[in-house]
């Protein structure tokens, strides 16, 4: 898609980012797997996530001040096509892991899921310099139109210039896409919290990395 512009996100993008995130993750069902409280209070969950993104973008939350938000925008319509949030780590084990005990709107297995994601990255990356992709999502209207790829290409340019590995957790459906972009599976998967009627392990997050290109 040739009319995409990749740029840094700003607070003015807040509502559009949350609308994009909601559209992308509600479609997959992952949002309600992690935050099942949204079933009974969807407006409350939306406000909680919106406020969390606002604090992140504004730098108000010092624990996430190093995270970088980028968006791919349709230059004609000015609609956000995709969003990415990433962070550079020199040593993910420099500080002890602080376990998540409880999250608003989350289910009983959500803390286990997030703690296992963190523990696995600490185990696999340790003191190795790497970029961690916290979030990459395309709006359903822009899927298969190169929006997420444009954001990832932006990060590839940075990571390759710094000879730095990229680490992410992929949904099952996105694994082939990331493989085509040069990522490889690490042989590790993390089970998502279960939605009603699902068995643990029926939906997983797959650990993938991409080594820098010389």
Q: What is the pLDDT of residues 16-62, one digit of tens each?
A: 999 999 899 876 778 889 999 988 999 999 999 999 999 999 988 88
For residue 15, the model assigns a pLDDT of 94
pLDDT over threshold 60, residue 1: no
Q: What is the pLDDT of residues 170-212, one digit of tens each?
A: 999 999 999 999 999 999 999 999 887 788 888 999 999 999 9
Closest residue by Cα to residue 206 from 144, 124, 129, 143: 124
For residue 64, the model assigns a pLDDT of 78
For residue 208, the model assigns a pLDDT of 99
Q: Which residue has the higher pLDDT, 107 or 2?
A: 107
Name the residue with tokens 């780590």: 89
For residue 192, the model assigns a pLDDT of 94
For residue 200, the model assigns a pLDDT of 84
Q: Which residue has the higher pLDDT, 199 or 65?
A: 199
Structural tokens at position 139:
């709006």
Return the number of other C-beta atoms located less than 10 Å from residue 40's C-beta.
9
Query: What are the two backbone dihedrals, phi and then psi, of residue 158, each rounded to the nearest 5 degrees?
Result: -65, -50
- CATH second-level architecture of 4-210? 3-Layer(aba) Sandwich (3.40)
Q: What is the pLDDT of residues 131-159, one digit of tens each?
A: 999 999 999 998 888 999 999 999 999 99
For residue 2, the model assigns a pLDDT of 64
For residue 59, the model assigns a pLDDT of 86
pTM to 2 decimal places? 0.93
Q: What's the CA gap between 14 and 101, in Å, rounded?
A: 27
């Amino acid at each position: 898609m040739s009319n995409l512009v990749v740029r840094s996100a700003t607070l003015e993008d807040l509502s559009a980012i949350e609308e994009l995130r909601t559209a992308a993750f509600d479609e997959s069902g992952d949002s309600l797997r992690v935050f099942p409280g949204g079933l009974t209070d969807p407006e409350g969950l939306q406000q909680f996530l919106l406020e969390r993104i606002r604090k992140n973008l504004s730098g108000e939350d010092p624990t996430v001040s190093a995270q970088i938000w980028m968006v791919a925008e349709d230059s004609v319509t000015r609609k956000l096509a995709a969003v990415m949030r990433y962070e550079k780590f020199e040593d993910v084990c420099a500080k002890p892991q602080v376990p998540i005990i409880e999250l608003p709107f989350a289910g009983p297995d959500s803390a286990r899921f997030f703690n296992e994601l963190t523990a696995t990255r600490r185990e696999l990356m340790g003191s190795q310099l790497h970029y961690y992709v916290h979030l990459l999502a395309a709006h359903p209207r822009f899927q298969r139109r190169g929006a997420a790829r444009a954001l990832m290409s932006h990060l590839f340019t940075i990571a390759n210039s710094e000879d730095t590995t990229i680490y992410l957790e992929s949904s099952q459906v996105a694994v082939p896409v990331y493989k085509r972009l040069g990522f490889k599976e690490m042989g590790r998967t993390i089970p998502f919290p279960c939605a009603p009627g699902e068995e643990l392990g029926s939906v997983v997050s797959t650990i993938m990395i991409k080594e820098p290109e010389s």
